[in-house]
Amino acid sequence: MMIPTIAIKRGAIEIIDQRALPGEYRIVAMRSVAELCDAITTLAIRGAPALGVAAAFGLLLAVEERWGADGEYFFDEDGERAASFAGRAGMDEIRAVLDGARDSIAATRPTAVNLFWALGRMAACYQARYESAEDLLRALHREAVSIHREDRAMSRRLGENGASLLKDRDSVLTHCNAGGLATSGFGTALGVVYAAVESGKRICVYAGETRPLLQGARLTAWECIQRKIPVTVITDGMAAHVMSNGLVSCVIVGADRIAANGDTANKIGTLNLAIIAKRYGVPFYVAAPSSTIDFSIRSGAGIAIEERSADEVKRFAGMPVAPEQAQAMNPAFDVTPAELISAIITEHGVHYPPFNGVWSASAGGSA
């Protein structure tokens, strides 16, 4: 089962509004780059792989917004007939609009490298030489659709690779949401669970709630229920308790950026889990597509960490949960050192430490 996290349909980007889950399943359509940027910033769409797809589709949206008109559109993922672009603008003007959209989207969230990876692919595409504006836009459309389809395929292969690490009746602790909602529909950390279940293994999930926005409680638990996978929500402070009592077979988390040495940035609280897992001998796995590996950064010290509004910590559902006068920190991510990671699962296989040399070649990157 693929979750329809994101698609481009008849000139608009459609997403599942993750802010509304689990109470309401709501599809929203975005028709401007500003709407997309707001959706990314407010976490209506989130998860590193999904943000890469959103960025790619966002450049198509920039063209729709600038030159489209009521009742017509230029791009549709399903290949329906779209309006001709001939005569509407020259290639220099198109590239200028795309450059502006790329800058706006790049400014939304700094940590997830997939967003920048996708924007880089799209920029290389539209900056190439073409005979006409129509040719440029056809190539841009193909590249965006390819990024979407590749992400689905990578997640599926990643899940199948990781499923080999799980045994029948294993219990998996995960953090935040790294399922279909965080990708183009299948998932990374949860994709490993899904693939194992599809192969006939009986797996149960412990979902860390993931303060302050409860992506584990709201989103991971929702996904597991859709797939009829047993799920138990725990508060973040219960992780040591469940691991010390032998309730967890392994920890599997996703990633927003992985440095060349294997240091991994993921949702805040991931480092806590890695330290606890090390103490109690629980395998700690990271699951992410190779597009999440940033070989330009040698270690986690070079990963930019997004700092979000203090109100996310001090308020919940509009209600204050801390004194107004109190200060609050809200880093969205932390960095887990490679030495705490048992293996990193990608679409290319299961990679064990040390994460260099063969790791770089097998993941398709260069150190």
* Residues assigned a catalytic role: 256
- Name the region of 210 (left: φ>0; alpha: ψ -120 to 50; beta: rest): left
DSSP letter, residue 20? T
Residue labelled with tokens 């294997």: 262
Q: How many other CB atoms are there within 10 angstroms of residue 327's CB atom?
A: 9
Nearest in space to 50 (alpha carbons), one of 101, 102, 118: 118
Q: In degrees rounded to 5, what are phi and psi of residue 243?
A: -75, -40
Nearest in space to 339 (alpha carbons), one of 356, 354, 361: 354
One-character DSSP codes across 67-103: H--TT--S--TT-------TTS--HHHHHHHHHHHHH
Dist CA 241 CA 234 (whole Å): 10
Q: Contact, 92 vs 25, CB < 8 A?
A: no
- Give the rounded distance of the alpha carbon of 273 from its chain centre: 20
Q: In degrees rounded to 5, what are phi and psi of residue 147?
A: -60, -40
Tokens, residue 236: 């973040």
Q: Contact, 332 vs 269, CB < 8 A?
A: no
Tokens, residue 182: 């965080």
> By 3-state DSSP, what share of the chain in percent is helix, strand and coil, each rounded to 5?
40, 15, 40
Strand partners, 252: 285
Strand partners, 138: none
Nearest in space to 186 (alpha carbons), one of 223, 215, 217: 223
- ∠ at Cα 316 (209, 320), nearest 5°? 135
